[in-house]
Amino acid sequence: MADEHIAAETVCDVTDNTVRSYTTGGHKVHKFGGTCLATSESINAVLEILKTQAQPGDMVVVSANGNVTNWLLALIEGGVPDGSILAEYFSELQQEARFSQTILHQIKSDIKTIEEAARINKHSSSDILSYGEIWSSLILSDLLNNEGCKAQAIDSCRCLKLNTDTYQYPFDQAFADAALDQLYHLHADSIFVVTGFIALDAQAQKTTLGRNGSDFSATALGYLINSPSITIWTDVNGIYTADPKVIATPLLVESLTLCEAQALSELGANVLHEKTVLPLLSYKGSVHIKSFNHPDKAGTLVSQDITPTNRVKTITFKQKLHKVCVHSIDELQARRIQKKLAEKSIASYVNGYDITQHKLTFYIEKSDVFAVTSAIKAMQHYPSVLLSNMTLISLVGQNIRQDKRIIERFIRRLSAFDTQEIHYPNNSHSLSVIIDDEHAKCLLKDLHTSFFHQEPTVPIVVLGFGNIGKKFIELIHHGRERLGKSLNRTLQVLAVANSQRFIFDTNGLDLSEIDKKLTIAETNSNDQIFNWLEQYAGRELIIVDATASKGISERYKEFANNKWHIISANKIAASDKQFAREVDSVLTNNRRIWKKNTTAGAGLPIQACIKNLYESGDQIEELSGIFSGSLSWLFSQFDGSKPFTELLKVAQDNAYTEPDPREDLSGNDVIRKIRILAQQLGFEDAPEDFEPAISDDLLEGELSSFWQKESAINEYYQALLDRANESDGLLRYIATLSPEKLSLKLEVIDRSHPFASLNPCDNVFQVVSAWYKDNPLIIQGPGAGREVTAGGVLNDLCDLLRGH
């Protein structure tokens, strides 16, 4: 098909290995959708594009103007009584766009013909619906001619003919070659404005190409004429990382591989329909998706590149799907059903045949339910609709299923939502999940943040807003940006509670002035926060226990059963050997984590050290030291110049002690730490020999009565200090852990002892092991205070998020 104007060459078709002749005059294809042609303003934008970018011989494929196809469908189905809405629309468009009155008269005449055909119910829906594209091509070609750009309106039925009765097979190349050869011969100096959406079927009858049929027409023509480029002009700048109607700030996808485009199209993407991509599988040119409002912007390039990207490119979102199930069928019958739906141009998703239960399941759009169930019943099967209003969300990116990090992150994000099912399509380029419509947007936003910004953290609930809890919130609030970059995660505190009130926000709390907000928040006097948290049962959550509450610690098994992580500064649960084992067992079964490093050593890494030595093969023989930062401070400060109780009050005011300082003086606080570390060491069954740091009679009664015994307390400690001074020694409350015994005693040590020279509040841990026998390992540093403990809790949070 060569003449004096058009060069030709012979190219090998990789799909069938036959030789065929292509027109290779470098003719481009432009496709404009209905939105691009809906108003005079949008039409003018299209004209400007074509005046600068189209050349004679180029193909311009058009959809029907605006909503014309829907109006035509309503007219023939009885949705509207007549064609007045169509006539009015085109009259107004003609006045504003100034196309020929002759064309307007023809359109109005056609509307009368359509009305009559609808009235007597004697019409072909394909014939009627094709009018929209015919009118659109006439209008645009007329306006182009008015602008000095020679153009011809072309009915695509002249060159597009399907080989079979369904769109899934290629168009007839010989039919196209003959028609295009004639067109280029007669109108080589013209731009061809071609009707999209319509073609001839295998019997040479006019047919429509279904949803997104105009895009299909464009890519088919691009393939048939061997065009160097196809540009699909639309009302968006290209393909985005997510639907801009749901995600406020999606990112533009600059390029898609053909594999990604095909995966995207199979998932029902509006911009790239499955039919649209079919011709591209053998197409050699480039495809651009661009905005007609911003023609200078690059848009999205669909390339032939098949280099694996191993990253998520975009996330699709398809709502209002219904699940259909067909029971008691064999695999061959299931395939026939799927074939029938394809022949009817009905898209189905998450197709699955269960060979053990002999059932086929799939999801379809709500508008297709009647057609699908009717078609299946006609095949003598009995479908049932199991679920309605479901959403299909899919990650798309070349070879993402070969990257376990992407799969792990995907599964991790889903764990916070009640999803229906996870689906692995028949390619390595997509991952899908089904979830109900109500929660779909929240999941999409979560996944989009995770894969294109920072991964959202597991929601955090902070129990306790005393010294530690308040400082922990402050550290997150002021360090959020730094922590986010370090963890590559956003940080979201879901709720904060004290013993009286709690505040919450399902989208994450504003952490400024939490103390003020708590004063007017929901009551928590009867632990109402746990009723509110029931909605998160089974969903991933982090409970940060910054209390010293026995009641909270008793709920740890409940937290574990709810599949919540636990970070505790509260020592009570961790020090109860049997209870801790039970909690750990449930958490392990639920693949959750309990971080408790601040329960012994505050911010010091003693538990991590024990774990590392054990895992590396060392054998710890003894652990000793001063485990109480509060008593470390007290005994380093107590030299007789001030009464002991005066120093005790200072320690309490600075949050060195527990809220009840008798917990420190009785040894209970240190005993809990000993028992926690003994579990880490494997010494938990060793006999215990614990002595309080004060006589038992001074600990008896209520807290108020304790402070009434100040004189007796001061006399008691002054006597101990005098005895220590007699031997030039120092008072230290020392814990010792070995397989033989766990002990705790207030001792007098020599000033040269490793535990003698401590800074106030320091903890010190001395590790004697097979590797550190002659020169013990010493870990020393602050072991009390809101800052170091809150910092240790934050470290636990970061470790959990990094390792999870």
Instruction: List average pLDDT for each run of 10 residues in the chain, which is 804 residues long.
Output: 30 35 70 95 96 95 95 86 92 96 96 89 84 96 96 94 69 91 90 94 87 87 92 92 90 90 85 82 88 91 74 93 95 93 86 93 93 94 93 94 89 87 89 94 91 82 92 90 82 91 88 89 91 90 93 95 94 91 93 90 84 90 89 89 92 82 89 91 92 90 88 92 92 93 93 84 89 90 80 90 74
Residue 468's nearest CA partner among 36, 789, 234, 715 is: 789
* Cα–Cα distance list, 669 to 52, 628, 631, 660, 663 (Å): 80, 8, 10, 10, 6
Spatial distance between the Cα atoms of 723 and 748, rounded to a whole number of angstroms: 9
Spatial distance between the Cα atoms of 301 and 239, rounded to a whole number of angstroms: 9
Domains in the chain (CATH in brackets) are 8-66+132-235 (3.40.1160.10), 314-447 (3.30.2130.10), 460-598+795-803 (3.40.50.720), 606-783 (3.30.360.10)
Residue 81 structure tokens? 């009584």
The reported pLDDT for the residue numbered 657 is: 82
Residue 173's nearest CA partner among 61, 30, 23 is: 23
Q: Compute the residue count for the chain.
A: 804
**What is the greatest pairwise CA distance in the chain?**
120
Residue 268 structure tokens? 């029902």
| All residues at 6 or more sequence positions from 248 whose CB lies less than 8 Å from its CB, including other chains | none
Spatial distance between the Cα atoms of 449 and 166, rounded to a whole number of angstroms: 40
Lookup result for tokens 């990789």: 14
Spatial distance between the Cα atoms of 221 and 546, rounded to a whole number of angstroms: 67
**3-state DSSP: the chain helix, strand, coil percent, rounded to 5?**
40, 20, 35
Report the percent of the chain where pLDDT is more than 70. Answer: 95
If you ran DSSP here, which 8-state letter would residue 240 be given? B
Residue 61's nearest CA partner among 147, 134, 110 is: 134
Instruction: Enumerate long-range contacts of 432-436, CB under 8 Å, 24 or more apart.
Output: 432/267, 432/349, 432/350, 432/392, 432/393, 432/394, 432/395, 433/392, 433/393, 433/394, 434/321, 434/323, 434/350, 434/363, 434/390, 434/391, 434/392, 434/393, 435/390, 435/391, 435/393, 436/389, 436/390, 436/391
Q: Reduced to 3 states, what is the DSSP secondary structure of residue 175? A: helix
Spatial distance between the Cα atoms of 386 and 326, rounded to a whole number of angstroms: 10
366 Ramachandran zone, left/alpha/beta (phi>0; psi -120 to 50) = alpha
DSSP of 36-71, one letter per residue? GGSSHHHHHHHHHHHHHH--TT-EEEE--STTHHHH
The reported pLDDT for the residue numbered 10 is: 25
Which contiguous run of DSSP H or E holds residue 406? helix 404-414
